[in-house]
């Protein structure tokens, strides 16, 4: 095992500056999956469970969603919510039991509600999930098969939790997987950058959101 005194953030930017892998790249058709941009995780002014890495994160996500809709590509939003009994949280809901605990994000609660800043349109797809991956026990896989997509772009949080789980599941299902770095967030920069590094080296292309937006604009120009 290599040891170092460098921070996770330093290592991440070193990796990004010195590419070590051939990128998966964009395929022919993409889906945008926005993982859990709900108040429990985005409203740092209201909830201790919330986090923010880039203050413009949700604006970038909205820009991506607009670009996807313009091209007729699917836009998916997920959020987490559980029954009052929390039995659908399973063993995941047994480690703590405080008002801030995961299993206490109840259906219809403010913590389960999407952040008011995200722009969800009537034609978008919304799923409730109960485990880290957006693929687990949701209809997401069937949706992607129906749309014949080959590329999955993932935003939201947390980088070390639901983003990582969704990205790994995406790659495992054979999709080119892209994570725009300004569009994901975590509670601590150490978790955030360590997982971005691991994702980039193994499971996904971590890239600037500007590059994803440029790809969408190029596709729109080709279609015009």
Nearest to 140 by CA among 123, 155, 128: 128
* Catalytic annotation, pick one of 58, 81, 162, 165: 162
Q: Let me know if 162 is a catalytic residue.
A: yes
Q: Which two tokens stand for residue 197?
A: 């590094």
**Which residues are part of the catalytic machinery?**
162
């Amino acid at each position: 095992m290599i040891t170092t005194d460098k921070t996770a953030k330093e290592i991440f930017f070193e990796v990004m500056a010195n590419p070590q892998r051939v990128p998966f790249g964009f395929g022919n058709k993409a889906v945008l999956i926005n993982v859990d941009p709900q108040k429990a995780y985005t409203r740092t002014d209201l909830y201790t469970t919330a986090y923010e890495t880039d203050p413009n994160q949700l604006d970038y996500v909205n820009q991506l969603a607009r670009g996807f809709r313009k091209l007729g590509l699917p836009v998916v939003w997920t959020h987490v919510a559980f029954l009052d009994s929390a039995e659908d949280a399973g063993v995941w809901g047994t480690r703590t039991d405080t008002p801030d605990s995961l299993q206490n994000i109840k259906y219809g609660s403010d913590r389960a509600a999407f952040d008011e800043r995200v722009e969800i349109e009537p034609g978008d797809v919304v799923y409730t999930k109960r485990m880290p991956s957006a693929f687990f026990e949701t209809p997401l896989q069937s949706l992607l098969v129906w749309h014949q997509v080959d590329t999955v772009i993932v935003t939201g949080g947390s980088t070390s939790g639901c983003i990582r789980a969704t990205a790994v599941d995406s790659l495992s299902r054979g999709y080119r997987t892209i994570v725009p770095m300004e569009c994901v967030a975590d509670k601590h920069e150490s978790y955030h950058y360590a997982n971005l590094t691991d994702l980039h080296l193994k499971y996904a292309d971590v890239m600037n959101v500007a590059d994803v937006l440029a790809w969408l604009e190029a596709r729109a120009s080709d279609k015009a």
